[in-house]
Amino acid sequence: MFEALAQYPDHLALEGEILAWWETEGIFDRLREQNRGGPRFSFMDGPITANNPMGAHHCWGRTLKDVFQRYKALQGHELRYQNGFDCQGLWVEVGVERELGLNSKREIEEYGIAEFAERCKQRVAKYAEIITDQCRRLGMWMDWDNDYYTFSDTNIEYIWRFLRECHERDWLYLGHRAVEWCPRCGTSLSQHELINSYAELTHPSLYVRFPLKGRAGESLVVWTTTPWTLPANVAAAVNPDAEYGLTKSLEWWAVERSPDAELTRRVRGSELVGLEYEAPFEHLPAQEGVVHRVIPWDDVSLDEGTGIVHIAPGAGAEDFELSRVHDLPVLTPIDEAGRFYKDYGELEGRSTEDVEGPITVELERRGLLVEAGSIVHRYPICWRCSTPLVFRIADDWMIRADEIRQPMLDANATVEWTPDFYSKRMDDWLRNMDDWNISRRRYFGLPLPFYPCNSCGKLTVIGSLAELRERATGGLEQLQELHRPWIDEVAIRCDCGAEVRRVTEVGDAWLDAGIVPFSTLGWQSPEWKEHGYATGAAAGLTGADLPDHAYWEKWYPADWVSEMREQIRLWFYSQCFMSVTLTGKSPYRAVLTYEKLLDEHGREMHRSWGNAIDAAEALENIGADVIRFVFCEHVPSQNMKFGYGPAAEIRRRLLTYWNSVKFFVDYANVDGFRPGDEAPGELQPLDRWLFERTEQLVAEISEQYERYWTPGVMRAFDSFVDDLSNWYIRRSRRRFWNSDEVALWTLHRALLRSVQVIGPVMPFLADFLWRRLRTEDAPVSVFLEPWPEARPRDEELLREVGEVRRIVELGRQARGDAGLKLRQPLRRLVVQGAGPAQRHSDEIAEELRVKEVEFAPVEAMEVRVKPNLPLLGPKLGKELGAVRSALEAGEFEQLEGGGVRVNGHELGPDEVLVERRAREGWALAADDALTVAMTTELDDDLRREGRVYELIHRVNTMRKDAGLELTDRIRLTLPASDADLLEHADWIKEEVLATDVATDGVSEPEIAKVS
Ligand SMILES: [Zn+2]
Ligand SMILES: [Zn+2]
């Protein structure tokens, strides 16, 4: 007996059951054991930040990773299954700050860096555990006790080694420049952290007068949206080639920016260069000694503002560059927290936002304000804490990118991207990448191993813990792990003999993630160290080993990685940068990438907007299989709208598949059928077709998995389920009623195969069904059964039945359009364009309920042509009326290519609208190759037969509602008004399993079970 299936699948219950069963039976371990020594498939997991529970969007990537790992495993590959957690850097710090209610670096330092680091570690441990549970629930098979944590000392040491390599190549330098700065986080951000991190913000828009010295009453007018930068002004830039004019109120503007003004003088910008002016805040101590003058700058925009730009090199990137060219003083007005320094007088200690009002008032009071308003514009914000960024001069550690740029482009050329155009995106990123800003002025992150000597000027970069120990002058006894504050207590001896301390900066978190192809695989590790990766902060969280170099040789580079598109400038980039530096080649051979998850209405999901969906919530609501189905069906190059509405639709579609399995189980049990290896008799044509169709499914779906293309997988599965349910099962119903074992055998085989190939996508449902369908000698889990091999197929047969199905589909469509129910038989069907389907006229007749099928040109088609008025109106002018009437009267000739000839005019295909319709008395539908038409006229015989079909349907529904078994016989009583249907009594009896049909005084049909 096959275990019976419920009417509807309870996805949540069956997933719980399967999850527990996988666990107790150790299915995943058995799979790994089975594949040990098989061909390797190297997948490298991009670390997930252990800082929050997973959101629904994380399920997308996690699903794809699991789908392809399962597929490769089913093919016998050995895999590593190592999961990764990203553990340090600003994400975690900001999370802990919120937890503790801290809101500045000063508060963190008061709290204590050691305690803060402990809290960060606790937070990571907590969320790593939660994420692990959520991934398991999603069905993700990973080696969960063997995760890598990027804050392990081993990981950090590997980054140190990379940084020393950069230093040896002379790529490391301390950049002194204006950088985007988050005043809340108190650190600069690098280029890859800025993209897409913008908000629409309202800022002041001020036009300010700069009085010219020695030119009585004349002023330059500048425009600014950042009034806080005015106290740091040192110059005003003009476009030397542009024309400037003096207005009646003695203000200089670019002529292009003040076209309506009456000008008393006009000069080239170059003539203004060198003039000196009074800056609005030159009375501040910080401004002492600064001579303010006009400088030339070709990039001054004439699209906005006044054509004269205020320059503050300490508060703008371009301004800073100009200070080098023109030897301008650089005034840095704000500190790390974005507050004004002491020498800014009344502004001292205030934030850039706080001073906007007072500065505007002050300008007004001194008659320097020409106009004040506000502007809404896109403005960069911190991607971690959403604080608006400012520019600030900072000394940041940088890695030079120029030398590595071409080798990285070359490496990327070897990578297969899916979808393929992302390869170009990566190239674009690499071509434009700036030097890599790796320093963050923070606490819980990779400690940069830089020890600059004040005595001799040498920079020592430590490459390993062993080297640190060797060169340390003290502090080793308290070094519990390679994090602040402990690492800061260790000084080293410079080659010159001086004692040197580490810089206090920590590293960009993308260094942490980028090094994992080396740190987790044991690159250059002389020996295998058990639990050797579980060092420092990671000790006790994982049992991961540090493998030896031979292992790295085997598993590097990754065959495949998959992350969202954003990672092009993040993990794909940092990994590639580090790998090309260390080995000269790409760390991955193939990449699958995907876009963003939006809410149901297409808005970005944010916790603060209340429209984010937690993974836990989604899993509880719709279950893992449905979530996985949703993600697999979606084309990854498009943003995805995620919500519960579409999920309900997917559950409905899955029900068709469920019903097919249930159908088999029910009939097989009625007959006590046990499937053997060989068919129990000769396959009928329809069986042969399903056999071939199943082979086709295996081949198609395998091809799509090979391409890492889940939408193709889902399409192949969907169309198979449709063929299975709406063709094979429906066409074979009668054989199942008659206990036809060949049909049962064929159906069973098709179901087993389909369960198997969809297993990677819906592992729970697949194993649930497999366990019910499998024969005793088959493995207990679908994931222990080797992938079916593709064999040659009978393509002709597949094409033939495909055509039949298409004709039937068009016929149904034609009936639908004409409002004719399928239960109403019709007289005649004409099919034009059919090939091998002509051999199946009986099936077509039966499917479409027609008495005769004819394969011939369809003459029942009427072509109606209307003028495309917007185009033809202007072209034909007065003649349009005549052409229109001729078209209406059908007086036209159709031309090759879709145009028509009418009234002596030749009209192109875009100038007319062609409509194909059935003539009166016909229903019609067509596609590119086939046209199907049927007569719609009904006579008494047809009407009576239609009523019989209705009756059969109704009685069978009554049987179901009464809870009758498939084999129960009934007695059927009809109202007297149905007496004429008794002409078809035998037919009715057979269809509803009745022993007897008669009329009686009932008003509605009645059934009674025959005992
Ligand atoms: Zn921030
Ligand atoms: Zn020295």
Q: At what angle do helices 644-671 and 615-622 cross, to 10 degrees?
A: 40
pLDDT along the chain (1011 residues), means of 10: 94 97 98 98 97 94 98 98 96 94 93 98 98 98 97 98 98 92 90 82 95 94 95 96 94 90 92 96 95 96 93 94 93 94 95 94 95 93 90 94 97 97 96 93 96 97 97 96 97 97 96 98 97 96 97 98 95 98 98 94 82 91 95 95 87 95 95 92 95 96 97 97 96 91 97 98 98 95 94 92 95 93 94 92 94 90 83 85 88 82 87 82 87 93 95 94 90 94 94 92 91 80
111 neighbors 100 (Cβ within 8 angstroms): yes
Ligand approaching nearest to the C-alpha of 493: 2
Query: Residue 283 C-alpha to ligand 2 middle, in angstroms?
Result: 42
Query: Residue 490 C-alpha to ligand 2 middle, in angstroms?
Result: 16
Round the CA-based radius of gyration of the chain to a whole number and report it. Answer: 38
Structure tokens at 737: 């009623």
Identify the pLDDT of residue 895: 81
Identify the pLDDT of residue 197: 84
Ligand approaching nearest to the C-alpha of 336: 1
Query: Residue 577 C-alpha to ligand 1 middle, in angstroms?
Result: 25
**Angle (nearest 5°) at CA 957 between 954 and 958:** 90
Query: Residue 383 C-alpha to ligand 1 middle, in angstroms?
Result: 7
Query: Residue 28 C-alpha to ligand 1 middle, in angstroms?
Result: 42
Identify the pLDDT of residue 609: 78
Query: Residue 462 C-alpha to ligand 2 middle, in angstroms?
Result: 14
What whole-number distance in Å separates Cα of residue 102 and Cα of residue 385? 13
**Strand ordering across the sheet containing 472-474:** 472-474, 491-493, 499-500
Query: Residue 504 C-alpha to ligand 1 middle, in angstroms?
Result: 19
241, 251, 294, 305 from 266: Cα distances, Å:
12, 12, 17, 18
Query: Residue 452 C-alpha to ligand 2 middle, in angstroms?
Result: 8
10 neighbors 672 (Cβ within 8 angstroms): no
Closest CA to 107 of 117, 97, 93, 122: 97
Query: Residue 395 C-alpha to ligand 2 middle, in angstroms?
Result: 20
Query: Residue 341 C-alpha to ligand 1 middle, in angstroms?
Result: 20
Query: Residue 293 C-alpha to ligand 1 middle, in angstroms?
Result: 35
Query: Residue 196 C-alpha to ligand 1 middle, in angstroms?
Result: 15
Query: Residue 336 C-alpha to ligand 1 middle, in angstroms?
Result: 12
Ligand approaching nearest to the C-alpha of 452: 2
Identify the pLDDT of residue 740: 95
Query: Residue 154 C-alpha to ligand 1 middle, in angstroms?
Result: 28
Query: Residue 375 C-alpha to ligand 1 middle, in angstroms?
Result: 23
**Angle (nearest 5°) at CA 694 between 692 and 698:** 115
744 neighbors 683 (Cβ within 8 angstroms): no
Structure tokens at 321: 């560059």
What whole-number distance in Å separates Cα of residue 326 and Cα of residue 103? 39
Query: Residue 332 C-alpha to ligand 2 middle, in angstroms?
Result: 30
**Torsion on CA atoms 948, 951, 952, 958, rounded to nearest 10:** -170
Identify the pLDDT of residue 737: 87
Q: For the whole prediction, is pTM greater than 0.95? A: no
725 neighbors 751 (Cβ within 8 angstroms): no
370 neighbors 207 (Cβ within 8 angstroms): yes
Ligand approaching nearest to the C-alpha of 460: 2
- The torsion angles phi and psi of 665, rounded to 5 degrees, stand at -60, -45
Ligand approaching nearest to the C-alpha of 501: 2
448, 597, 710, 711 from 638: Cα distances, Å:
39, 9, 13, 12
What whole-number distance in Å separates Cα of residue 347 and Cα of residue 341? 8
Query: Any idea what DSSP says for residue 242?
Result: S
Ligand approaching nearest to the C-alpha of 497: 2
Ligand approaching nearest to the C-alpha of 498: 2
Identify the pLDDT of residue 510: 95
Ligand approaching nearest to the C-alpha of 495: 2
Q: How far is CA 937 from the centre of its chain?
A: 53
Q: CB neighbours of 94 closer than 8 A, spacing ≥ 6?
A: 185, 384, 385
**Strand ordering across the sheet containing 263-268:** 263-268, 243-247, 251-254, 219-224, 198-211, 369-380
Q: CB neighbours of 170 closer than 8 A, spacing ≥ 6?
A: 400
967 neighbors 666 (Cβ within 8 angstroms): no
29, 44, 555, 931 from 36: Cα distances, Å:
10, 18, 14, 56
Identify the pLDDT of residue 951: 95
Identify the pLDDT of residue 722: 95
What whole-number distance in Å separates Cα of residue 752 and Cα of residue 748? 6
Identify the pLDDT of residue 148: 98
239 neighbors 300 (Cβ within 8 angstroms): yes
Query: Residue 568 C-alpha to ligand 2 middle, in angstroms?
Result: 40
Ligand approaching nearest to the C-alpha of 94: 1
Q: How far is CA 517 from the centre of its chain?
A: 23
Identify the pLDDT of residue 769: 98
Query: Residue 491 C-alpha to ligand 2 middle, in angstroms?
Result: 12
**Angle (nearest 5°) at CA 861 between 859 and 862:** 125
376 neighbors 201 (Cβ within 8 angstroms): yes
Query: Residue 499 C-alpha to ligand 2 middle, in angstroms?
Result: 8
Query: Residue 508 C-alpha to ligand 2 middle, in angstroms?
Result: 27
